[in-house]
Amino acid sequence: MLQKIYDWIDDRIDITPIWRDIADHEVPEHVNPAHHFSAFVYCFGGLTFFVVVIQILSGMFLTMYYVPDIENAWKSVYYLQTEVAHGQIVRGMHHWGASVVIVMLLLHTLRVFFQGAYKKPRELNWMVGVLIFFVMLGLGFTGYLLPWDNKAYFATQVGLEIAEQVPFIGQELKTLLAGDATIVGAQTLTRFFAIHVFFLPGALFALLAIHFVLIRRQGISGPL
Amino acid sequence: MSDEKQQVSRRQFLNYTLTGVGGFMAAGLLISPIRMAIDPVLKESSAGDMANVGLSVDDITEEPQRIDWTIDQVDGWYESEVNRAAWVYRNENDEIVAFSPVCKHLGCVVSWEGSDQHPNEYFCPCHDGRYYKDGTNVPGTPPLAPLDEYVQEVRDGMLFLGEPKPRGEA
């Protein structure tokens, strides 16, 4: 049945070469853990992406209950945690996944760094990776405020004051982030929500696409 | 070729295994989010509490009268008072009847004798839907069912109303 549907589509638009291009490629021996167990270090990039997928999925579902408004944000999160079946688990996935992403990303970066895999001709991909790292930190920073509890509020207060330390444009940068020069409040929350669920994920997808296209074009760097 | 059995090739075996493991992981990942998303469908509704509408049964006449009251509504994390209304009268068998004013056509609000041209009927201004005094829809007008009736109860001479139910279920 599935085969028939696939054939029907393939007959018309010839999709086989497309997914062959994506999925069918050599895995060199030195990155295959079946040959050298130590090659598991090559998994960290893929694992980072896997956790990112979890973050996207759980985040999409969380927005079914979350309200980015200072009156209701905490209440909606509390409702989700205490009244909705499996709500605690889904928020748990997003909460812990956020930390796991950073850990995996760091391990991936360390692997690339210590193997010297960033060297010519792969410098561009390293730069894109660094941008991804910044976007991830941004996602962590903006997501932290959303539950609108004490910890979130004061962490953001501190984060905004760090932004204020930027020379020359600090004050403007803080206002831009918080939506107000002095208040961390209603406008800050909606801004952080918008940045967290639209702007940064958009940037992340674009950067990830470039990251993956480059690794496919350039191949995995040779063995040490 | 004598021991020819249904051999599973290495490629097939790998395909099955990978699909199985992948499917298992995807299912494990999605089960909680999906359960959370469909929670409203599976939640038991807390409706059913009867509210005192502030009307003494002695004041109920054969002429339908509109009564308004409020109920406390819990909507997820948001609690509020919402307005309810009913048309209440005493029918020829001396039974109290309380109709929901929500038209069975498209949900506008009906009024008793809401149109001068149609005395002794409920009238819906949106599409000229009409109902007789006993709530039955007038044939040939838009509504296809009689007005819903409130679940009712009399306690200490006061009228208590619950949820509106289609006729025959109240």
Total domains present in chain B? 2
Q: Which band of pLDDT confidence, cut at 50, 70 and 90, is reported for residue A58?
A: very high
Question: Containing domain of residue B26, as a range?
Answer: 10-41
Establish if B1 belongs to a structural domain: no
Establish if B16 belongs to a structural domain: yes
Q: How far apart are CA B151 and CA B93, in angstroms?
A: 18
Tell if the CB–CB gap between B39 and A87 is shorter than 8 Å. yes
Query: What's the mean pLDDT when you consider all of chain B?
Result: 90
Average pLDDT, stretch A135-149? 97
Establish if B4 belongs to a structural domain: no
Average pLDDT, stretch A2-7? 93
Q: What is the pLDDT of residues B145-164, one digit of tens each?
A: 999 999 988 999 999 998 89
Q: How far apart are CA A19 and CA A92, in angstroms?
A: 34
Phi, psi of A34 (to 5 degrees): -70, -25
According to DSSP, the residues that pair with B87 across neighbouring strands are B66, B99
Establish if B15 belongs to a structural domain: yes
Per-residue confidence (pLDDT) for residue A224, from 0 to 100: 81
Looking at the fold, whether B29 and B73 belong to one and the same domain comes out as no
With b for 16 or more beta-carbon neighbours within 10 A and e for fewer, the B144-169 pattern comes to: eebbbbbebeeeeeebbbbbbeeeee
Establish if B170 belongs to a structural domain: no
Looking at the fold, whether B36 and B79 belong to one and the same domain comes out as no
Q: Is pLDDT of A51 > 70?
A: yes
Query: What's the mean pLDDT when you consider all of chain A?
Result: 95
Looking at the fold, whether B114 and B158 belong to one and the same domain comes out as yes
Which residues in chain B are contacts of A2 at CB distance < 8 A? none
Of all residues in chain B, the one with the smallest CA distance to A91 is: B33
Give just the sign of the alpha carbon dihedral A94, A97, A101, A102. Answer: positive
Asked if this assembly's ipTM is beyond 0.95, the reply is: no
Measured in angstroms, the CA of A81 and the nearest CA of chain B are apart by 11
Q: What is the pLDDT of residues B74-122, one digit of tens each?
A: 899 999 999 999 999 998 898 999 999 999 999 999 999 988 898 999 9
Q: Which band of pLDDT confidence, cut at 50, 70 and 90, is reported for residue B35?
A: very high
Q: Which domains does chain A have, with CATH numbers?
A: 27-218 (1.20.810.10)
CB contacts under 8 A, B 16-45 vs A, are 29-33, 35-37, 39, 42
Per-residue confidence (pLDDT) for residue B149, from 0 to 100: 93
Tell if the CB–CB gap between A65 and B76 is shorter than 8 Å. yes
Of A54, A60, A79, the CB nearest to B77: A79
For helices A170-178 and A150-164, angle between their N-to-C axes, nearest 10 degrees: 150
Looking at the fold, whether B92 and B131 belong to one and the same domain comes out as yes
Q: Which helix (H) or strand (E) holds B98?
A: strand B96-99
Looking at the fold, whether B65 and B99 belong to one and the same domain comes out as yes
